[in-house]
Structure 1
Amino acid sequence: MNNNNSYKLSKRIFTCFFLIILLCIIVFQKNGSLPSEYNIQIGESHTINTKFPLSLSFDETVEDILEISKINDRNNIFSRVNNQIHLKSIEKGSKELKYNILGFIPYKTVRVNVVPKLYLYPGGQSIGVRLNTEGVLIVGIAEILDDEGVKHNIAEASGIRIGDSLMAINNQKVENKYHVIEMLQNSNGEKITLTIKRNDKYFQTDITPIKSSEDKKFKLGFWVRDKTAGVGTLTFFHEESSKFGALGHAITDVETGNILSVKDGEIIKSKVVSIQEGKKGRPGEIRGLFYELDKPLGRLLKNTIHGIYGELINDINDSKYNKPIEMAYQHEIEVGPAYILTTLDDNKVDRYDIEIIRINTQVKADSKSMIIRVTDDRLLNKTGGIVQGMSGSPIIQNNKVVGAVTHVLVNDPTKGYGIFIEWMVEESGIFDKKM
Structure 2
Amino acid sequence: MKLMKKKSHIMKLTRVIFGFLLFLLMYVFVFEISGSIPGEYNIRQGEEYIIDTQFPMSIAYKGVKDEKSTIIEIDKLNKSLLSLANINDQIKLTSLEKGSIELKYHILGFIPYKTLKVNVVPKIFLQPGGHSIGVRLNTEGVLIVGVAEITDIEGKKHNLAEVGGIRIGDSLLEIDGKPINNKYHIIELLQEGKGKTISLTLLRDGKRFNTEITPVKSGEDESYKLGLWVRDKTAGVGTLTFFHEETKKFGALGHAITDIETGSILSVKDGDIIRSKVVSIQQGKKGSPGEIRGLFYDVDLPIGKLQHNTAHGIYGEVEKEFLEKVDDGPLEMAFQHEIKEGPATILTTLDDNKIEEYSIEIVKVNSQAKASIKSMVIKVTDKRLLEVTGGIVQGMSGSPIIQEDKIVGAVTHVLVNDPTKGYGIFIQWMVEESGIFDKYQ
Say whether the fold is shared (TM-score over 0.5): yes
1:227 to 207, 228, 233: 233
Give the one of 40, 46, 50 matched to 1:47. Answer: 50
**Quick check: 1:421 aligned with 2:427?**
yes
Given that 2:99 and 2:120 are in contact with CA atoms closer than 8 Å, whether structure 1 keeps it comes out as yes
- Distance in 2, matches of 1:240 and 1:173, equals 34
| Residue 275 (structure 2) pairs with residue 272 (structure 1) | no
Say whether 1:248 aligns with 2:254. Answer: yes
**Matching of residue 157 in structure 1 with residue 163 in structure 2:** yes
Conservation of the 8 A alpha-carbon contact between 1:353 and 1:376? yes
The answer to whether the Cα contact below 8 Å between 1:404 and 1:418 also exists between their aligned partners in 2 is yes
CA contact (8 A) 1:124 1:319 kept: no
What is the one-letter code of the residue matched to 1:417?
A: Y
Question: Counterpart of 2:38 in 1: which secondary structure?
Answer: coil
1:364 alignment partner in structure 2: 370
* Shift in alpha-carbon separation, 1:228–1:53, aligned structure 2, 3 A: closer
2:43 matched to 1:37? no
Which residue is 2:410 aligned to?
404
The one-letter code sitting in structure 2 at the alignment partner of 1:295 is L
Aligned residue identity for 1:380: L
Q: Which runs of 5+ in 2 are unaligned?
A: 1-7, 81-85
Structure 2 residue aligned with 1:98: 104
Cα separation, 1, equivalents of 2:312 and 2:48: 28
Q: Identity over aligned residues, as a percent?
A: 66
2:430 aligned with 1:430: no
CA-to-partner distance for each residue in 1:381-419, whole Å, 9 max, x for gaps?
111111111111111111111111111111111111111
| 1:352 aligns with one of 358, 361, 378 | 358
Matched residue count: 421
- Contact 1:318–1:348, Cα closer than 8 Å, also in 2: no
Return the alpha-carbon distance in structure 2 between the equivalents of residues 110 and 147 of structure 1. Answer: 65
Give the unaligned 5+ runs of structure 1: 1-6, 75-79
Partner deviation per Cα, 1:292-336 (whole Å, 9 max, x = no partner): 011001111000001100011144479896111110100111111
93-102 vs 399-408, which moves further: 93-102
> Cα RMSD over matched residues?
2.9
- Counterpart mapping for 1:5-16 below 5 A: none
Shift of residue 204, structure 1, vs aligned partner: 2.3
User: TM-score, normalised on structure 1?
Assistant: 0.89
1:61 corresponding residue in structure 2:
67
Is 1:282–1:410's contact at 8 Å kept on the other side of the alignment? yes
Q: 1:106 to 1:323 in 2, by over 3 A?
A: same
Moved more, 88-97 or 371-380: 88-97
Deviation of 1:207 after TM superposition, in Å, equals: 2.0
Q: Find the residue that maps to 2:68 and give its secondary structure.
A: helix
Deviates more, 1:302-311 or 1:185-194: 185-194
Question: Do the aligned partners of residues 29 and 267 (structure 1) sit closer, same or farther apart at CA in structure 2, a change above 3 Å counting?
Answer: closer
Post-superposition shift, 1:56? 3.7
Q: CA deviation at 1:247?
A: 0.6
The equivalences for 1:163-312 within 5 A come to 163-312=169-318
SS at match of 2:385: helix
Say if 2:331 is the partner of 1:325: yes
Q: Residue type matched to 2:290 in 1?
A: G
Q: Distance in 1 between matches of 2:58 and 2:238?
A: 46
Other structure's SS at 2:439 match? helix
